[in-house]
């Protein structure tokens, strides 16, 4: 009987201990949930405050500080408060035990009174911070996993860049953009890498190097800081309506060079010579890394284009479902490329460009508006979130390594690397360009080489070693300086270089079509590609373009009828093509101004027809007069484009216009 009573007491005591342990566990879980909610609330408030201040700046026309620089300042202030003003009381239940192991396991099983508990590795802390575990935990909670940036925040930013690309100006400067993005990025990477290696050798000689720092690490640093992100400059360019070609050169270079920098950095990481020393130079390993670069880039490009092409939705009757499918297919491109060992940045960029060219034409009007607004919103929120987080991590990241010599060397190397990218390539490109890249454009491109989200995301992805921690800390300072100083001085730089602003892009394109620029200005490869795309690909992949029955030979009639959608026949008279004004293969343009016809042949000469009523009118005078009043129509190769002009004043009859012109001349 006594044994039974003792057993019951033990069981009761054990159950009470278990109950108390469950209560404690539930309280900890609830406290952790509240802490996580508070951390997310901090970022939401940061974005809210940034948006309100942006509205104030736009209302006051204040251009000295862009929204991204403002988000970084707010992040810095919050980081200071979290680091120095808030302290979490120590938990008396925390126990520090010593255990001699040769490595730090990612998962640790601890046996506590017969119960096994699983603990995961959160990172290394210094011996002086052992007593500040709670503060470290709070700072660690506001430090996101780097994969969050790559898998959640980066895809909408990169996709929006490709989806909103102005293809007209992009393809007009395609050769120059490719030269800056590919050749220029590689040159910049090696220039920065060589200069930083010399800086590291100097630090080693004077005893300021606290860990291993190899030449491959210097090249990796050169690759990540060669990724430009002139979001601040481009926003000001867009607001001031700066020259469209300068905008296209900067935007196109930044879009493609981000992709090149990502693949280049992964190729440098994949550099593995044979033998024990993995940091010596070896020709075969170099060629292998070059092969990795080409393979990863081409594979990512093919995957992105293929995914963009197969996004052929037929849910036009359900715009909500259509938009949701489009969104998921776009995002899955990034994840699919990463899962296959390619680069998601390259894949999602070209997926966006392909979908903008093909899939967009198949969407319903509601879905077209929704997708544009959706990705524009996601791009805005993700970009400002990243810049806010940059400011925050300057104080919340626990493993910063700041070295004055490395920082000064990095700023000098970034400047020289950018100069080696812009000026020599511009000189070589101008040898073959009809319209030269002027010196003031080159100075502006040099000044606008800001570093931003991509550089930060590449540097924070791996901070395990001493070299990577120093790179991350220096990268933050480079981003801060370029965004605040270069971004804030954009307006003054435009004025100093006397670059024209207030340029109406549509009017500029309209004038260029009238013979001031003809097909000789277009890239020859693009003209060939356009004809193939216009006649064959668009009729197959979209509902726009001429039916295949009109472009394929007569012997292919059954196949053409099978591949052409019914909507293509309906849209034959309403061709949707945003690039047609670049291609003038027939050599002439016909302008119909109601009662006057003006033609432009391939040589650029103007001829005018006789107006109704038999009154001869000079073509130049008629052109100027009709551009000032009323609507006009442009006819190119059977495609009729109606270009509305300013309707603030109704068009006047021809006699009234002549009378008013006569009075103005007399006055």
The pLDDT value recorded for residue 443 is: 92
The pLDDT value recorded for residue 275 is: 54
The pLDDT value recorded for residue 21 is: 65
User: Comparing C-alpha atoms, which of 167, 178, 165, 255 is closest to residue 509?
Assistant: 167
The pLDDT value recorded for residue 422 is: 94
Phi and psi (nearest 5°) for 194?
-65, -45
The pLDDT value recorded for residue 603 is: 42
The pLDDT value recorded for residue 619 is: 39
- The helix (H) or strand (E) run that includes residue 641 is strand 639-643
The pLDDT value recorded for residue 650 is: 44
Cβ contacts of 200 within 8 Å, gap of 6 or more: 209, 213, 218, 406
Sheet holding 639-643, edge to edge: 606-608, 596-600, 589-593, 632-636, 639-643
Q: How many residues does the chain have?
A: 667
- Count CB neighbours of 652 within 10 A: 15
- Count CB neighbours of 403 within 10 A: 18
The pLDDT value recorded for residue 625 is: 44
> Which portions of the chain are predicted below pLDDT 70?
1-21, 24, 63, 87-104, 106, 113, 122-142, 232, 272-282, 312-314, 503-526, 543-545, 563-667
**C-alpha separations of 362 from 312, 314, 317 in Å:** 7, 8, 12
- The helix (H) or strand (E) run that includes residue 115 is strand 115-120
The pLDDT value recorded for residue 220 is: 93
The tokens of 274 are what?
A: 């044979």
User: Comparing C-alpha atoms, which of 136, 221, 207 is closest to residue 463?
Assistant: 221
The pLDDT value recorded for residue 580 is: 43
Angle CA 211–102–92, to nearest 5: 95
The pLDDT value recorded for residue 71 is: 86
The tokens of 89 are what?
A: 């009381």
The pLDDT value recorded for residue 555 is: 78
Q: What is the largest CA-CA distance in the chain?
A: 129
Helix H segments across 517-609?
524-532, 538-541, 548-551, 557-563, 566-570
Burial of 341 (0-12, 13-18, 19+ CB in 10 A): exposed
pTM reported for the whole predicted model:
0.75
Q: Are 414 and 225 in contact (CB under 8 A)?
A: yes
Per residue in 141-173, pLDDT (tens digit) is 667 777 887 888 889 988 998 898 877 778 778
The pLDDT value recorded for residue 279 is: 61
For tokens 């006789």, the residue is 610
The tokens of 10 are what?
A: 């033990």
Which CATH number does the domain 146-273+283-504 belong to among 3.40.50.2300, 3.30.470.20, 1.20.1530.20, 3.10.20.30? 1.20.1530.20
Three-state DSSP class for residue 126? coil
DSSP 8-state symbol, 89: P
The tokens of 239 are what?
A: 């607001």
For tokens 């030979």, the residue is 553
Phi and psi (nearest 5°) for 29?
-65, -40
Can you give the C-alpha Rg of the chain in angstroms?
A: 31
The pLDDT value recorded for residue 568 is: 61
Three-state DSSP class for residue 218? helix
Q: Are 227 and 189 in contact (CB under 8 A)?
A: no
Phi and psi (nearest 5°) for 515?
120, -15
Gap between the Cα atoms of 73 and 57, Å rounded: 15
Domain with CATH 1.20.1530.20 in the chain: 146-273+283-504
Gap between the Cα atoms of 292 and 263, Å rounded: 9
Gap between the Cα atoms of 267 and 288, Å rounded: 9
Q: Indicate the angle between helix axes 2-60 and 67-80, nearest 10 degrees.
A: 140
The pLDDT value recorded for residue 662 is: 46
Helix H segments across 126-279?
133-141, 146-148, 154-163, 167-172, 174-178, 185-205, 215-224, 231-240, 244-269
- Count CB neighbours of 570 within 10 A: 10
Q: Are 248 and 196 in contact (CB under 8 A)?
A: no
- The helix (H) or strand (E) run that includes residue 634 is strand 632-636
């Amino acid at each position: 009987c006594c044994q039974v009573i003792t057993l019951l007491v033990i069981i009761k005591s054990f159950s009470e201990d278990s109950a108390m342990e469950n209560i404690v566990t539930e309280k900890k879980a609830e406290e952790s949930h509240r802490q996580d909610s508070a951390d997310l609330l901090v970022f939401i408030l940061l974005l809210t405050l940034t948006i309100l201040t942006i509205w104030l700046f736009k209302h006051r026309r204040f251009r000295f500080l862009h929204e991204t620089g403002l988000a970084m300042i707010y992040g810095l202030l919050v980081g200071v408060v979290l680091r120095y003003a808030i302290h979490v009381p120590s938990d008396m239940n925390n126990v520090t035990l010593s255990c001699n192991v040769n490595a730090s396991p990612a998962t640790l099983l601890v046996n506590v009174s017969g119960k096994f508990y699983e603990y995961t590795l959160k990172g290394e802390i210094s011996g002086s911070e052992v007593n500040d575990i709670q503060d470290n935990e709070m700072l660690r909670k506001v430090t996101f996993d780097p994969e969050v940036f790559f898998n959640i925040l980066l895809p909408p930013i990169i996709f929006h860049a490709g989806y909103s690309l102005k293809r007209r100006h992009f393809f007009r400067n395609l050769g120059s953009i490719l030269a800056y993005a590919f050749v220029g990025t590689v040159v910049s990477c090696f220039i920065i890498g060589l200069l930083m290696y010399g800086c590291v050798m100097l630090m080693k000689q004077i005893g300021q190097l606290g860990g291993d720092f190899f030449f491959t690490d210097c090249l990796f640093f050169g690759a990540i800081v060669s990724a430009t992100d002139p979001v601040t400059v481009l926003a000001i360019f867009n607001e001031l309506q700066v020259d469209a070609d300068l905008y296209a050169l900067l935007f196109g270079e930044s879009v493609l060079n981000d992709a090149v920098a990502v693949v280049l950095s992964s190729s440098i990481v994949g550099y593995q010579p044979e033998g024990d020393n993995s940091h010596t130079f070896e020709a075969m390993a170099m060629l292998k890394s070059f092969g990795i670069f080409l393979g990863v880039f081409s594979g990512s490009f093919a995957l992105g284009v293929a995914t963009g092409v197969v996004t052929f939705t037929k849910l036009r009757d359900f715009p909500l479902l259509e938009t949701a499918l489009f969104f998921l297919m776009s995002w899955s491109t990034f994840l699919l490329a990463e899962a296959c060992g390619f680069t998601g940045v390259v894949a999602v960029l070209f997926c966006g460009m392909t979908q903008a060219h093909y899939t967009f034409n198949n969407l319903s009007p509601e879905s077209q508006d929704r997708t544009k607004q959706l990705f524009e919103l996601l791009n805005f929120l993700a970009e400002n979130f990243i810049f806010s987080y940059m400011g925050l991590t300057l104080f919340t990241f626990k493993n910063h390594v700041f070295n004055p010599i490395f920082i000064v060397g990095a700023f000098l190397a970034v400047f020289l690397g950018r100069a080696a990218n812009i000026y020599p390539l511009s000189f070589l490109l101008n040898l073959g360009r009809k319209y030269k890249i002027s010196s003031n454009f080159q100075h502006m491109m040099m000044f606008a080489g800001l570093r931003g989200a991509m550089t930060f995301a590449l540097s924070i992805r791996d901070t395990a070693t001493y070299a990577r921690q120093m790179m991350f800390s220096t990268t933050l300072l480079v981003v801060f300086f370029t965004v605040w100083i270069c971004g804030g001085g954009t307006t003054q730089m435009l004025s100093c270089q006397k670059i024209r602003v207030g340029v109406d892009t549509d009017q500029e394109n309209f004038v260029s079509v009238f013979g001031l620029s003809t097909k000789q200005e277009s890239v020859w490869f693009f003209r060939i590609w356009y004809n193939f795309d216009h006649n064959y690909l668009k009729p197959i992949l979209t509902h726009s373009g001429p039916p295949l029955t009109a472009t394929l030979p007569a012997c292919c009639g059954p196949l053409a009828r099978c591949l052409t959608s019914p909507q293509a026949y309906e849209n034959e008279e309403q061709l949707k093509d945003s690039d047609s004004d670049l291609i003038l293969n027939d050599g002439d343009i016909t302008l119909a101004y109601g009662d006057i016809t003006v033609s432009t042949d391939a040589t650029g000469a103007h001829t005018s027809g006789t107006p109704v009523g038999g009154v001869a009118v000079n073509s130049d005078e008629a052109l100027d007069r009709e551009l000032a009043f009323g609507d006009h129509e442009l006819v190119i190769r059977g495609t009729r484009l109606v270009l509305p002009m300013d309707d603030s004043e109704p068009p006047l009859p021809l006699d009234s216009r002549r009378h008013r012109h006569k009075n103005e001349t007399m006055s």
